[in-house]
Amino acid sequence: MPFRTLPARDAAGARLAAALDACQRMTAHAAPRRRGRRLIVLAVAIVLAGCSVNDLLLNPEEARDTQAADPVDPAANGDVARKITVENRAGNKLVGWLFSARGDRGIVLAAGGNGTGTPHTYAYNRFLLHHGFRVLVFSYQGFDQNEGVADIGSIAGDVEAFHSYAARQFPGEPIGFVGESIGAIAGLCGAAGDYAVMSLEGLIDPSSIAYTIIDSYVPAPLSYVLSFTFHPGAVLYEAAVPGELNARDCAARNERTAMLFLNQRKDPVSSLALVRELAQAHPAHITVLELPDSAAHPHLVVSHSRDAQARIVAFIKTHLKTQAADRPARKPSPPGGHAASRVAIVD
């Protein structure tokens, strides 16, 4: 759920938030042919405001505000969440909610978007429960009561920490992943190659998001001119994104994983063209599901599509069972600090 409210921890963040708010007001009632020209302000704002990658892509304050305004309690739905604690590469403690039932086999990790904490990530992904596999819901460093400061450099490692917990707690069982928005890239790149199945909704590629926004709102050939004009700023922005969050490289490392990508054609921050490129490069294990564009939800939201939810569940169940039948789960062996991730269970 990007760009609803951007943090203003510094002057740059405040300028970007003001520019985006103004842009949204300008374009709310603009005629379609004028909207593209006006939304150039959005691309300009990203570069000129000098916002940090973290300000643009991670918003723990929004997650806390949402939980305060609309509290979520699994018990109200008859669900029982077991809280587990892991430590990421930096040694920060992160808390996840584990949902399981007798007879479950396999586990699916579920990560939220840039402004979603664990409670609302659970609510968004509740359709995954009660299908014969466990579900572990979590958010990132600096979100909810998790230790540390929200940092784009931590999100892949945060996923790895929860993956390590799943692999150690349920040895030999298949592991899946479901992520939306920024959570999709976190899962695609965190513990890459060690999943049986993934469902990735509205994938955000941090290094190319500025170009995605321009291409989404500005028609060619003007979009080519604008991309060229702001290329120096976009390069600086891309340089601030950790190298491990590269969608193309991460997709290649998941060569053993069945992946379902869900996208909308006109999503302003998630590139369907990139997803199709990944699918063409890896046709044997990537499936793309294009969902209808929604004026109410321009950035993909599957909570309003029971059909999409059913497709996700069916895809996960099929491939969790396939891995369980055909081969044992791989022992996690990612680079960096994955092997050093520590896990602890909190009752």
- Percent of the chain residues past pLDDT 90, beyond the cut: 58
CA-to-CA dists, residue 39 to 21, 209, 232, angstroms: 11, 15, 20
Q: Give the torsion sign (CA, 71, 76, 79, 82).
A: positive
The domain that holds 133 is classified in CATH as 3.40.50.1820
Mean pLDDT over residues 274-303, rounded? 93
User: Token pair for residue 18?
Assistant: 């003001």
pLDDT at 137 over 70: yes
3 state DSSP class of 97? strand
Rounded to 10 deg, the angle between the 231-239 and 40-48 helix axes is 50
Please tell me the distance from the alpha carbon of residue 16 to that of residue 48, in angstroms, as a whole number: 8
Mean pLDDT of the chain: 80
Band of pLDDT at residue 48, cut at 50, 70 and 90: very low
pLDDT digits (tens, 9 = 90+) for 159-214: 999 999 999 999 999 999 999 999 999 999 999 889 999 999 999 988 776 656 65
Please tell me the distance from the alpha carbon of residue 182 to that of residue 211, in angstroms, as a whole number: 16
pLDDT at 83 over 70: yes
Single-letter amino acid code for the residue at 176: G
332 located within any domain? yes
- pLDDT at position 234 is 59
Band of pLDDT at residue 252, cut at 50, 70 and 90: very high
Output 129 or 339, whichever has higher pLDDT: 129
130 located within any domain? yes
- pLDDT at position 56 is 74
45 located within any domain? yes
- In the numeric block, the tokens 């990735």 are attached to 200
Band of pLDDT at residue 347, cut at 50, 70 and 90: very low
5 located within any domain? no
240 located within any domain? yes
205 located within any domain? yes
20 located within any domain? yes
6 located within any domain? no
Please give the residue range of the domain that contains residue 180. 11-70+79-345
> What pTM, to 2 d.p., does this model score?
0.79
Mean pLDDT over residues 20-27, rounded? 44
Per the structure, the count of domains in the chain is: 1
Mean pLDDT over residues 119-136, rounded? 98
Least confident of 46-50, 241-245, 266-270: 46-50
pLDDT at 139 over 80: yes
Mean pLDDT over residues 315-327, rounded? 80
Mean pLDDT over residues 92-114, rounded? 96
pLDDT at 307 over 70: yes
